[in-house]
Structure 1
Amino acid sequence: MASLIALLEAGTTPWRREWDAAAGGHHVNLLSGRRYRGANPVLLTLGLHLRGSALPYWCGFAEAKALGIFPRKGSKAVHVLRPQVHQLAESRLEEAGTEGDAGTAARSWVSYRPVALFNAGDLEGEALEGLIQKRRQAAGVALRAEPERLAAAEAVLSSWPVVVRFGGDRACYLPGPDRIQLPERAAFHSAGALYSTWAHEAIHSTGHSSRLARDLSGGMGESGDGGRAYAREELVAELGAVLLGDRLEIGSAMANHAAYLGHWVELLKESPPVLLQVLGDARRAADLICPEAPEAAVACLC
């Protein structure tokens, strides 16, 4: 957390990453090639920035050791979140007197535990280079051409059931009329910039009372509770847009905003656990707009 706050104070948003096919694109397991899911792409992108690495390939200590690969001395792991499904035995439900629908709802729940991963740039061993090349080749085969990726992003964002109006000189979400406002398309210097901005505002719109019902009452420049609500919601939209940018393969290269950075520093210093809470909100928002593919198809971690 201290490293993250230092980066924000220096004017950097370290979870942003251009979509770079040459570097491998999605964050994947170095050995299996499976993609990391849920909010973990944000945590891993932060890990890349802190290490100055461009390789989005990761693995745990034990699985690397089995192949004779080890972290370099002084290397630090990045912790991602692995879902754990818990189930309450039928006998315990009966003892507790739980019946009917309530019993069904009480039988299982999910918690998350941290799992340590090392970046390929922090590893060494004879098998390492071959694994990196294998991952790069697989990424090259799977990569869609840019026009196809941009068309897919347009389709997903256009299908989101919130009215979008183009015009003016600002991008924002208006909770009252439940509308997204964007500048004219020609005002954006690239299609990627348009879609990443659109994604940010779409994430805001998931907080409407008819959807995920987040607190959208805060405003820029407010102090006290209003300022904290504003900072938190902007952080949700920022990280949610990063997740959408990863899923849609368009990146998340919006310009840094000094006002946002200052608010985030204050928020994280005041309540460090808020980052994990915000990551959960960002994941739920991204899932509402662009659900992930079934787990068996792409990844092992949530």
Structure 2
Amino acid sequence: MASLIALLEAGTTPWRREWDAAAGGHHVNLLSGRRYRGANPVLLTLGLHLRGSALPYWCGFAEAKALGIFPRKGSKAVYVLRPQLHEQGEGQLLEAASGEGSGPADAGEATAGGGVATAGRSWVSYRPVALFNAGDLEGEALEELIQKRYQVEGAVLHPEPERLAAAEAVLSSWPVEVCFGGDRACYLPGPDRIQLPERAAFHSAGALYSTWAHEAIHSTGHSSRLARDLSGGIGEAGDGGRAYAREELVAELGAVLLGDRLEIGSAMANHAAYLGHWVELLKESPRVLLQVLGDARRAADLICPEQAEA
């Protein structure tokens, strides 16, 4: 958390990431190729930024050690959240852990050891899992594994025109009116409308869709949907300003998740005015990041649910 706050204080939004098709795009397990899901792509993108890596390949210490691969001295792990479903049986507690960094539950709703109530006699808790980036590993088998992952991930990537067309289809199908014109992008809760500049005003199609995704995430907070607190405004005194800064953070991280799912990255315009407010929020309560990640994931799921892996 201290590293994240330092980056924000320096004017950096470290969860943003251009879509890098050359490196495979999605965050995946180095050995199995399994994608990290839920809100974990945000945590792993932050991890990439902190270590200056461009390789979205990760693995745990034990699985790497089994192949004679080890973290370099001084390397630090990145922690993702693995949801675990608990079911209360007759006189016993049954636990079923979902796949690595994935599952139907909402990352960010509970810290390790905590629980989230669900329907019936079941609940979800989250266990932190340490992962090391491929760039922090060394060993004879490493280069071959990275090359294999390059080949496998590259074979399933969609060409850019196809990805952009898919992003247009998903965002256009979201049932909130979008009006193009003017010089700013915003979501208006009253009329329940998204306002965007003309398409030609964006420096790339990716920037258009990233900004559109950001405003679409805002619109999920409408009282008829997820009913988040959309009150206040940046620069306003009191709780209203903080509430809106929190909502901007939800939209930021939700847009990152959508950018990962739609394979367009997160290249929206900088919201530098909010950085100081985000620092205040995180310093006030580190837990707020987990809560915001949960809100961001629920919002992204409304617009573009994750596809089940084959």
2:127 aligned residue (113, 125, 142)? 113
2:86·2:94 contact (CA, 8 Å) conserved in 1? Answer: no
CA distance 1:102–1:19, shift in 2 (3 Å): closer
State the alpha-carbon separation in 1 of the partners of residues 117 and 82 from structure 2: 26
Q: Deviations over 1:38-75 (max 9, x none)?
A: 00000000000000000000000000001110001110
Partner of 1:58: helix, strand, or coil? strand
CA distance 1:231–1:104, shift in 2 (3 Å): closer
Consecutive unaligned residues of structure 1, counting only runs of 5 or more, are none
1:88·1:106 contact (CA, 8 Å) conserved in 2? Answer: no
1:256 shift after superposition? 2.4
In the superposition, the TM-score normalised over structure 1's length comes to 0.92
Consecutive unaligned residues of structure 2, counting only runs of 5 or more, are 99-113
1:298 shift after superposition? 3.2
2:18·2:267 contact (CA, 8 Å) conserved in 1? Answer: yes
2:115·2:126 contact (CA, 8 Å) conserved in 1? Answer: no
CA distance 1:229–1:95, shift in 2 (3 Å): closer
State the alpha-carbon separation in 2 of the partners of residues 219 and 85 from structure 1: 38
Partner of 1:297: helix, strand, or coil? coil
CA distance 1:103–1:80, shift in 2 (3 Å): closer
1:102 shift after superposition? 16
State the alpha-carbon separation in 2 of the partners of residues 97 and 167 from structure 1: 48
CA distance 1:212–1:96, shift in 2 (3 Å): closer
CA distance 1:93–1:84, shift in 2 (3 Å): closer
State the alpha-carbon separation in 2 of the partners of residues 120 and 96 from structure 1: 29
Q: Deviations over 1:172-230 (max 9, x none)?
A: 00000100000111111111110000000000000001100100002111122111101
Larger radius of gyration: 1
The root-mean-square deviation of aligned C-alpha atoms, in Å, is 4.0
1:104 shift after superposition? 9.8
CA distance 1:61–1:205, shift in 2 (3 Å): same
1:11·1:256 contact (CA, 8 Å) conserved in 2? Answer: no
1:206·1:288 contact (CA, 8 Å) conserved in 2? Answer: yes
State the alpha-carbon separation in 2 of the partners of residues 33 and 94 from structure 1: 29
Larger helix proportion of the pair: 1
2:210·2:259 contact (CA, 8 Å) conserved in 1? Answer: yes
1:258 shift after superposition? 2.2
Higher relative contact order (CA 8 A, sep 6+): 1
State the alpha-carbon separation in 2 of the partners of residues 58 and 16 from structure 1: 18
CA distance 1:97–1:168, shift in 2 (3 Å): closer
**Matched positions, count:** 295
State the alpha-carbon separation in 2 of the partners of residues 97 and 23 from structure 1: 29
1:106 shift after superposition? 2.6
